[in-house]
Structure 1
Amino acid sequence: MNFGTFPVVKTERFLLRQMTIEDAPAVFEIFSDADVTKDMGEDPFKSIEQAEDLIHFMNNLFIENKAIRWGIINKEDNTLIGTCGYNGWEIHRGSRGEIAYDLGKKYWRKGYMTEILKSLISFGFETMGLYRIEAFTNVDATPSINLLKKAGFNQDGVLRGYSSSQGVYVDNRCFSLLKSEWK
């Protein structure tokens, strides 16, 4: 998968674009909240430098053709409210990608991620040519589980000890949506 330039995705209320170092304060605000990072298995950020490092890391993954992570920009006030994208993809032994997303807590439960997820799914199937989109959640991440189900994802199962969260291995739920099930 080679995009060349970083793709921009538009929804009714949001613009998904590449993050820049100017986004670091907003990224720091989001990732310094323990409620946001708890399901990521990461400690909350303690410095703006961590946000800058994350932006560089995510942009480098795109340059290396390994992942794509957008900043979610509210069109109304040009505010970065979260990030989303594909943590990776497999195109040699199938055609699948792993989707991931986060929002600042003050933007939760407003229907924003439902709108954004529809565009991410469309981008995966139509632009990336994926056949399967996967998502992984902690077993108790009820809002994310409900979001995925609402978007048409099916739970494939529970993966025991699948990820590490703050030094402890935890189970994850695996969800998927096939292109043939979409729309």
Structure 2
Amino acid sequence: MTAQATLKTNRLVLRPLTFEDAPFIQTFASVRELADAMISIPHPYPNGEAERYISKQLAEFEAGHSVTFVIESKSESVFSGIIEVRDIEREHSQAELSFWLAVEAWGQGYMSEALKPVLHFGFEDLSLNRLYGYHMVRNPASGKVFQKNGFVQEGVLRQRVRKSGVFEDVALWAILHRDWQNSLKIIGKGFHSTS
């Protein structure tokens, strides 16, 4: 892949991940409330896990399998979270969306705002046909973000993941390129990107 774009909305900057983000990831991912809501974040969050995560994501980007954005508040340049387009499948023209916000940033509409330019990036820049995402059924806030942004719930995967020793049901949501195009006619873009 070429250099990763930076995306901007009214309140946010979505920029490439760097090793300088490791202390923020380590701190925020260590918070129990965040880890409890996320399928892939363990608790306790192991020392050095942030650096391992960043190394993996940068390698996945180089291989063309994943693109990771750091979500920052535009006004304060404060690290607020992560949003990934991952498991990019060229054969089937699809990828998974995964995201999290620091607990301090919850309830401000940041994730829904961040998702808009990432959808544009996935469908236009990556030429994908389908973007999908998962969340544990007991975390309905993630489902609301998907629903607000035009995703359709495709089903529930019963006891799909084990979290803290408990098997959890997981909801699957997806949006197709044509659905996204139709929604744009109604709501508009509200963001721009820079290389």
Structure 1, residues 49-74: CA drift from partner, whole Å, max 9, x if none?
22222222211211122211111122
Which TM-score applies when normalising by structure 2? Answer: 0.85
Q: Does 1:44 align with 2:7?
A: no
Which TM-score applies when normalising by structure 1? Answer: 0.90
**Aligned positions of 1:20-59 closer than 5 A:** 20-41=18-39, 42-47=42-47, 49-59=48-58
User: What one-letter code is carried by the residue in structure 2 that aligns with 1:109?
Assistant: G
Structure 1, residues 73-95: CA drift from partner, whole Å, max 9, x if none?
22211111100011212121x21
CA RMSD of superposed structures (Å): 1.6
SS at match of 2:107: coil
CA contact (8 A) 1:163 1:171 kept: yes
SS at match of 2:86: strand
**Aligned positions of 1:12-23 closer than 5 A:** 12-23=10-21
SS at match of 2:5: coil
User: What one-letter code is carried by the residue in structure 2 that aligns with 1:59?
Assistant: L
Distance in 2, matches of 1:91 and 1:162, equals 25
Give the aligned partner of residue 61 of structure 2: 62
SS at match of 1:136: strand
CA contact (8 A) 2:64 2:88 kept: no
CA contact (8 A) 1:68 1:88 kept: no
User: What one-letter code is carried by the residue in structure 2 that aligns with 1:81?
Assistant: S
User: What one-letter code is carried by the residue in structure 2 that aligns with 1:77?
Assistant: E
Distance in 2, matches of 1:68 and 1:12, equals 22
User: What one-letter code is carried by the residue in structure 1 that aligns with 2:45?
Assistant: F
**Aligned positions of 1:1-150 closer than 5 A:** 3-41=1-39, 42-47=42-47, 49-92=48-91, 94-150=92-148
SS at match of 1:52: helix
Distance in 1, matches of 2:34 and 2:158, equals 23
Distance in 1, matches of 2:162 and 2:4, equals 30
Structure 1, residues 140-159: CA drift from partner, whole Å, max 9, x if none?
11111111111111100011
Distance in 2, matches of 1:89 and 1:160, equals 24
User: What one-letter code is carried by the residue in structure 2 that aligns with 1:86?
Assistant: V
Q: Which segment drifts farther, 77-86 or 38-47?
A: 38-47
User: What one-letter code is carried by the residue in structure 2 that aligns with 1:145?
Assistant: G
SS at match of 1:133: strand
Q: How many residues align?
A: 179
SS at match of 1:123: helix
Shift of the alpha carbon at 1:169? 4.0
Instruction: Give structure 1 regions of 4+ aligned residues with deviation exceeding 6 angstroms.
Output: none
Identity of aligned residues (%): 29
